């Protein structure tokens, strides 16, 4: 008789990395990106995340959305530069690149300028600021490419199951939409029909919307067939305690995260974040009693998951330490206008983000994942 060891899906399941570890790794890199405006360090963060995505991306539609996140990041950077040119910048500068016609504004709009002088210092400052936000978007795209949203949903506590379903549906809408557009455009090109311009957009958009509607109806039928929304009866005292712990813990996590992302909140950020996390976890554990459900082959949180999470957390912690000790290296000035320098030990710290690419085996394709 053949046991579970002969099933290839069982053997490959033991090799996969927990999807929550990939999300924590990517969010840690995004946190590290908020601690600096040095374009060399931000480019190193983007390169490290892109290399890990290239070696460990999954075969799900979410992974194919990574180029879309990269294009969105580039668009954000360009929009930030356009705003700096059109609306001006509070950064003073002496290197004038061009002078645009200035539109006079009423007195109540003082502080806002349309047109005028465009200096190199203002453009460089806007580029640094836009690159930081673009790096955050790339890190979120890396999390989508490395972790399957359906696998992540299985790992959520029972109290967040309904919310997790809504979040996963929202996260998978854009990747599926992009995949449908690429598939329909490829089919039209094979038939010799136009796939660009307004006509091509209209003829591709209708089938895409029809496919999204059919997918929504099928998802609703599947959720109803599986008893979605069924809850168990728990005492009112436990419900009130759960709500208080969960709400207070999440507020503490938000306040602590805000403290970590700002220079002024470095003293209270970590204690408040830890206290909020403990309260939220206690509330989620109590709230899980209302959602009676079982997990089929749950993803284990093993040494590989700790390695992935630890590498990202180390990058965030070391960049935060570098921002506190040497803020000038991580935030190069633009007045006077000088070329940014690459600080050595913060750059070496960012290289720790590459550890999963070499120490963690590539996740095998999941036979139950839709391609």
- pLDDT tens for 106-132 read 777 666 777 778 888 888 888 998 999
Question: How far is residue 319's CA from residue 342's CA, in Å, rounded to a whole number?
Answer: 13
**Average pLDDT along the chain:** 77
Is the model more confident about 219 or about 338?
A: 338
Q: Of 52-56, 90-94, 104-108, which one has max mean pLDDT?
A: 52-56
Query: Tell me, what's the pLDDT at 271?
Result: 81
Kindly tell me if the per-residue pLDDT of 14 is higher than 60.
no
Kindly tell me if the per-residue pLDDT of 354 is higher than 80.
yes
- pLDDT tens for 178-199 read 777 777 778 877 777 766 766 6
Query: Tell me, what's the pLDDT at 212?
Result: 73
Query: Tell me, what's the pLDDT at 367?
Result: 47
* Cut 0.75: pTM above it: no
Q: Is residue 53 within 8 Å of 65, Cβ to Cβ?
A: no
Q: Is residue 41 within 8 Å of 350, Cβ to Cβ?
A: yes
Query: Tell me, what's the pLDDT at 228?
Result: 63
CA-wise closest residue to 312 among 1, 52, 106: 52
Q: Of 47-61, 163-177, 232-246, which one has max mean pLDDT?
A: 47-61
Provide φ and ψ at 100, rounded to 5°.
Answer: -95, 155
Residue 323: how many other CB atoms lie within 10 Å: 19
Residue with tokens 């909020």: 276
Query: Tell me, what's the pLDDT at 12?
Result: 41
- pLDDT tens for 137-153 read 999 889 888 887 667 76
Query: Tell me, what's the pLDDT at 201?
Result: 67
- Predicted confidence band of residue 88 (pLDDT cuts 50, 70, 90): confident
Q: Is residue 241 within 8 Å of 286, Cβ to Cβ?
A: yes
């Amino acid at each position: 008789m053949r046991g579970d060891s002969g099933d290839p899906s069982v053997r490959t399941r033991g090799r996969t990395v927990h999807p929550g570890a990939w999300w924590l790794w990517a969010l840690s890199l995004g946190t590290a990106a908020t601690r600096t405006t040095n374009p060399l360090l931000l480019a190193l963060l983007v390169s490290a995340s892109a290399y890990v995505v290239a070696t460990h991306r999954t075969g799900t539609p979410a992974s194919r959305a990574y180029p879309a996140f990269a294009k969105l990041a580039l668009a954000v950077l360009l929009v930030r530069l356009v705003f700096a040119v059109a609306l001006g910048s509070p950064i003073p500068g002496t290197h004038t690149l061009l002078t645009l016609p200035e539109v006079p504004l009423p007195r109540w709009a003082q502080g806002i300028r349309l047109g005028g002088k465009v200096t190199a210092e203002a453009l460089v400052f806007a580029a640094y600021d836009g690159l930081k936000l673009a790096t955050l978007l790339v890190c979120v795209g890396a999390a989508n490419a490395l972790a399957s949203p359906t696998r992540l949903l299985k790992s959520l506590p029972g109290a967040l199951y309904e919310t997790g379903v809504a979040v996963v549906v929202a996260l998978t809408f854009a990747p599926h939409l992009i995949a449908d557009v690429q598939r329909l455009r490829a089919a039209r090109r094979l038939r010799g029909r136009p796939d660009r311009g307004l006509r091509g957009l209209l003829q591709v958009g209708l089938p895409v919307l029809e496919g999204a509607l059919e997918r929504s109806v099928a998802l609703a039928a599947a959720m109803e067939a599986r008893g979605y929304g069924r809850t168990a009866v728990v005492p009112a005292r436990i419900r009130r305690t759960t709500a208080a712990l969960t709400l207070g813990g999440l507020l503490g996590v938000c306040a602590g995260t805000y403290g970590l992302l700002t220079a002024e909140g470095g003293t209270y950020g970590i204690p408040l974040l830890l206290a909020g996390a403990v309260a939220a976890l206690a509330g989620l554990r109590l709230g899980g009693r209302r959602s009676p459900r079982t997990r089929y082959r749950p993803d284990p949180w093993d040494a590989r998951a700790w390695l992935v999470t630890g590498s990202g957390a180390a990058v965030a912690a070391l960049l935060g330490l570098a921002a506190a000790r040497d803020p000038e290296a991580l935030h190069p000035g633009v007045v006077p206008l000088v070329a940014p320098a690459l600080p050595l030990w913060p750059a070496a710290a960012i290289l720790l983000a590459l550890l999963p690419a070499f120490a963690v085996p590539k996740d095998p394709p999941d036979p139950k994942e839709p391609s």
